[in-house]
Structure 1
Amino acid sequence: MPEGQPAVVGVVADLQAESAQLDALVAGLDDAGWATPTPAPGWTIAHQIAHLAWTDEVAAIAATDPDRFAQLLGEAAGNSPETYVDDAAEAGAAAPAGEILAGWRAARERLADALREVPAGVKIPWFGPPMSAASMATARLMETWAHGLDVADALGTSLPPTDRIRGVVHIGVRTRDFAYAVNGRTPPTEPFHYALTAPSGELWTWGPAEASNSVRGPALDFCLLVTQRRALADLNLELVGSDAAEWSGIAQCFAGPPGPGRAPRAS
């Protein structure tokens, strides 16, 4: 196997670690545990893991067999993206729990191997714009982390935050204008400054320090906002400027139509 591009290898390693952390959370569940409802309406833990398995498998196909992926894309053309995804999760969740878990383990391993072998400069086709192997791995990391939160919430527990969430922050920063577009709004012309404290205590920054709009606070809270896993009222983020305040109400780093977000937690 080729050694792969260093940037890709690093993100893939983070993706594998994030997946393994979630795997450990669900591996010991009985059938009733897999049927536990999660914060995503209509989705049980089985739906969450089946969705990750399906998406990892499709991403592996896109990275290794563009013609086969084009066929899948054609099959999806008659459905809205959310319907296509929900149907796949529903079908996957109907399988026995052991089969769902084994399928996810195999799919994510195939994806990791495939991403490490993508040559530099090659773009992987996807349901949206094509992306590099590093971007695909980062996107899969973001989604695995976010769905892992749903599973942890369903089980009344939490997953320890790690600096792997830097990839989630990166996507949250990069998708600022997308959040405006998907909500039918015009994004600001000026960039924001982001100063976010990593779980390790390191300060991560993006954008010009002199920007009139800024977002400051824990990187974890930023990730919870952009993945719409917590309401703004439950987070410790400092928003400076009217544009940053507007963005905080529509922030969304995942593809698809505007998400409904989460209601504030009861105090």
Structure 2
Amino acid sequence: MIETLDRTAQIDLLSQQWDAIDALVAPLDEHRWRTPSPLPGWTVFDVVAHVIGTESWLLGDRPPAHDPTRVKTDVRTLPYVRNETAVLNEIWVDRLRPLSGARLLGLYRDVIDRRRAALAAMGDAEWEKETVSPIGQISYGRFMRVRLFDCWMHELDIADALGARVEEGGPRGELAFAEFVLGVPRVVAKKGEAPEGARIAFALTGPLARTLRIQVAGRANYVDAFEEPATVEIDMDSQLFVRLGGGRTKAEEHLDEITIHGNTDLGQRLVSHLAFTI
């Protein structure tokens, strides 16, 4: 289910995604910048600081030095920091927190301008070259699709925190969602403990409406169709599906928005264990 786009089209969508984040936060006053987000320990400010940190890292920049007037935080002790990627993310966020929202937005725009220039100067060989990413060794182009997904997810985090509505579908959403759903079969089998032979259908409505069919045959994989009726069909809006998979909310808080047909025990176990993103 890995969609391929030419380099120019994918870079354009990533650029649009950066603009979408800018549009959400540009009107904010300092108080609104500090609105808690769905991510543990992070405000809207922190979400944008995280995006800055990752894009700065891709430019070869290092985190700012620690401000000696502030108490130094050992980010490894934070309960939501579970791996080395999260450690690096948290260092960037912590070091940028002393800035005002306005200064953070200025830094965001500077970093994004530099990233756009770097991507525009990149040739096909660099785009296809293997590189280290949070999901392992992949091509740089694939990594940029991961970046699109990450920034799209954080746009939703910011919008949810602010009570704003954004377009979750369209070309950006479609490409980000294509990256997102790659992790669903594994979480269905591992965390959801779907048994051998299970046929699972997620019937999604909303901006990213589609039916995802997963069959467990040795491994859990997507299939175009089942030869027999689904073991379980789970109906929900794509917006809720994304937030469950992203660990932004829990199924128990949305039982009236989820309908399960067939094996209800399996269905309830699956929706309760959908979270899998970093």
Give the TM-score, by structure 1 length. Answer: 0.70
Matched, 1:96 2:100: yes
**How far apart are the structure 2 equivalents of 1:8 and 1:214?**
37
Structure-1 residue corresponding to 2:67: none
More displaced stretch, 49-58 vs 229-238: 229-238
Change in CA separation of 1:222 and 1:102 when aligned onto 2, cut-off 3 Å:
same
Q: What does the per-residue CA deviation read over 1:22-45, in whole Å, with 9 as the maximum and x for residues that have no partner? A: 211211222222223333333222
1:261 corresponds in structure 2 to none
Give how far 1:53 is off.
0.6
Bigger Rg, structure 1 or 2: 2
More strand by share: 2
Correspondence for 1:227 among 208, 226, 246: 246
Structure 1 residues 197 and 92: CA distance shift in structure 2, 3 A: same
Structure-to-structure mapping, 1:1-267, within 5 angstroms: 6-61=5-60, 80-115=84-119, 117=122, 118-119=124-125, 121-163=128-170, 164-179=172-187, 192-197=200-205, 199=207, 203=210, 205=212, 207-208=222-223, 209-210=225-226, 212-232=231-251, 233-234=253-254, 236-239=257-260, 241=263, 243=266, 245-255=268-278
Q: Is the CA contact (8 Å cut-off) linking 2:36 and 2:44 kept in structure 1? A: yes
**What is the deviation of 1:175?**
0.8
Deviation at residue 13 of structure 1 after TM alignment: 2.5
Cα distance in structure 1, aligned partners of 2:195 and 2:136: 22
CA distance 1:222–1:186, change in 2 (3 Å): closer
User: CA shift at 1:48, angstroms?
Assistant: 1.2
Contact 2:149/2:180 (CA < 8 Å) preserved in 1?
A: no
CA distance in 2, matches of 1:8, 1:80: 29
Cα distance in 2 for residues equivalent to 1:182 and 1:205:
17
- Aligned counterparts of 2:30 and 2:167: Cα–Cα separation in 1: 25
- The answer for the alignment partner of 1:265 in structure 2 is none
The number of residues matched between the two structures is 235
Separation (CA, whole Å) in 2 of partners of 1:155 and 1:198: 21
Distance, in Å, in 2 between the alignment partners of 1:14 and 1:189 is 39
Q: Shift of residue 51 of structure 1?
A: 0.6
After TM superposition, what 4+ stretches of structure 1 lie above 6 angstroms from structure 2? none
- For 1:82, give the aligned amino acid: A
CA gap 1:247/1:10 in 2 versus in 1, 3 angstroms: farther
Q: CA RMSD in A?
A: 3.5
Mapped contact 1:36–1:44 kept (Cα < 8 A): yes
Task: Could you tell me which runs of 5 or more consecutive residues in structure 1 were left unpaired when the two chains were aligned.
Answer: 69-75, 256-267
| Cα deviation, residue 94, structure 1 | 1.8
Alignment deviations for residues 67-111 of structure 1 (CA, whole Å, 9 cap, x no partner): x9xxxxxxx9xx744333222211122223233212222333444
